[in-house]
Amino acid sequence: MKITGAKVFVGGPGKNYVTLKIYTDQGIYGLGDATLNNRETLPASYLRDYIIPNLIGKDPRNSEDIWQFLYRGAYFRRGPIAMAAFGAVDIALWDIKAKLANMPLYQLFGGKSRDSALVYAHATGSDLEQLIDNITFYKDQGYKAVRVQCGIPDMPTAGYGVREDDDSKSDFITDFSGIKPKIEIWDTERYMRYMPDALARIREHFGPELKILHDVHHRLTPREAAAFAKSVEPVSLFWLEDPTPAEDQNALQFLRQHSTVPIAIGEVFNSIYDCQHLIENNLIDYIRIAVTYAGGITHVKRIVDLAGLHNVRTGFHGAPSHSPISMAAQAHLNAWAPNFGIQEYLVLGTKECDALFPSQHKLASGLFYVSDDIGLGVDFDEKEAEKYSYVAGSHPVVRLEDGTVWNY
Ligand SMILES: [Mg+2]
């Protein structure tokens, strides 16, 4: 069996999805996702210029050898752009392998460990009243877990994950008006003064059953993060996400000494080596890696197994930048993983998105039901894809009031 060709498509409804399609001499094809949010053209170029010419003629069943060829063969290892490109190839090869086996992908990992996977939605509000309305919107649909982000009074601009316009149920924070980012102003003191009380009021309003998650988005220093975690302990959060920038991994020891709030980190990681210290030293409770820019299924499965050894559970990244292809790959891992925790799920089930990526995967009452169709269980309509192309966009860049650049 041989790979005969591959194509990269960039575009989608309101998103620049980077979709890889690998063709074989037996008519079977595989699909992968290399979408690196706000830098989409870079993994696409890596795939087109370097990887695809090297895939032609290779046996697609040898996914491990191909992964090692790409990773070790590049000499310059790791990094989100390369790992997103390798990840797309790897997801597509697993899709081909499962189609050859005539099985849904999860069967190749060891079968299902659960009937459905818990997911969480994002609720945001420009103020607490609007946030409570939006949490109610998700709770009414049966969601059991919601990430909550609230506008902070007197913050010069809206905080992370909070939109300034009325479309507060949407979390699409990319601005497609051009490549130059808008500036967002951040004030840690105002956040620290307001947010613990806001979280306490949300807990009081919704009672003990709702799983409440909150994302700090790397904005605090280690001391501030420890103080914040301590102050929100009575709220019984499901997790506190990215309290500090994760480059300084020993900083988490300080937080751990002061609080038992569950910590989730890893959405910007792209390698098992980024996760190793945090997992082996029990500095986190959930690992937030994603198949999209962490080398695909082959590499992420190794991270899940390492996490399992240390009682760390999965909480895969699932921002709107992940296409239904990588979300399907994660759905199969979620069905299998003995240490599954929760899945972030924000792919909006729009008519346009469903037409581009047809599948039988289902979300109902805050639970994700993986499809039993063979392979990844998601297809890609090339005719439909002709409607879309790359649109330049950017995330905001964050500054403090005195102009200092801060962590996005
Ligand atoms: Mg996050």
Q: Which two tokens stand for residue 339?
A: 């240490």
Q: What percent of the chain has pLDDT over 90?
A: 89
**Cα 345 to ligand 1 centroid, rounded to whole Å:** 12
What pairing do the DSSP bridges indicate for beta strands 340-344 and 117-125?
Answer: parallel
268 C-alpha to ligand 1 centroid (Å): 9
pLDDT for residue 318 is more than 60: yes
pLDDT digits (tens, 9 = 90+) for 32-73: 999 999 999 999 999 999 999 999 999 999 999 999 999 999
Instruction: Indicate if 160 belongs to the active site.
Output: yes
Ligand 1 centroid, distance to 38 Cα (angstroms): 15
Q: Look at residue 282 and give its three-state secondary structure.
A: coil
Question: Mind listing the pLDDT tens digit for each residue in 355-387?
Answer: 999 999 999 999 999 999 999 999 999 999 999
Q: What is the mean pLDDT of the chain?
A: 94
Residues 6+ apart with CB under 8 A from 207: none
Give the H/E segment covering residue 149: strand 145-150
Nearest to 341 by CA among 291, 307, 293: 307
CATH match for 108-393 among 3.90.280.10, 3.30.110.40, 3.90.870.40, 3.20.20.120: 3.20.20.120
Question: Taking the model in full, what pTM does it have?
Answer: 0.96
Average pLDDT rounded to a whole number, residues 152-181: 72
**Ligand 1 centroid distance, CA of 217 (Å):** 6
Position 159 pLDDT exceeds 80:
no
Q: How confident is the model at residue 173 (pLDDT cuts 50, 70, 90)?
A: confident
pLDDT at res. 373: 98
Residue 405 CB partners (closer than 8 Å, separation 6+): 397, 398, 399
Percent of residues, the chain, with pLDDT higher than 70: 96
28 alpha carbon – ligand 1 mean position (Å)? 36
Q: d(Cα 33, Cα 36) in Å, to the nearest integer?
A: 9
Q: What is the DSSP string of 182-212?
A: PEEEE-HHHHHHHHHHHHHHHHHHH-SSSEE
Q: How confident is the model at residue 84 (pLDDT cuts 50, 70, 90)?
A: very high
Q: Which of 217, 322, 332, 361 is catalytic?
A: 217
What's the CA-to-centroid distance between 287 and ligand 1, angstroms? 11
Q: How far apart are CA 1 and CA 332, in angstroms?
A: 25
Kindly tell me if the per-residue pLDDT of 404 is higher than 60.
yes
Give the DSSP letter of residue 336. Answer: H
The pLDDT assigned to 168 comes to: 46
Exactly one of 29, 120, 160, 388 is catalytic; which is it?
160
Catalytic annotation on 217? Answer: yes
Please give the CATH topology (third level) of the domain spanning 3-103. Enolase-like; domain 1 (3.30.390)
Domain boundaries, the chain: 3-103, 108-393
Dist. CA 225–CA 242, nearest whole Å: 9
Tell me which of 154-158, 177-181, 217-221 is least confident. Answer: 154-158
What is the helix (H) or strand (E) element at residue 254, kind and residue range? helix 251-258
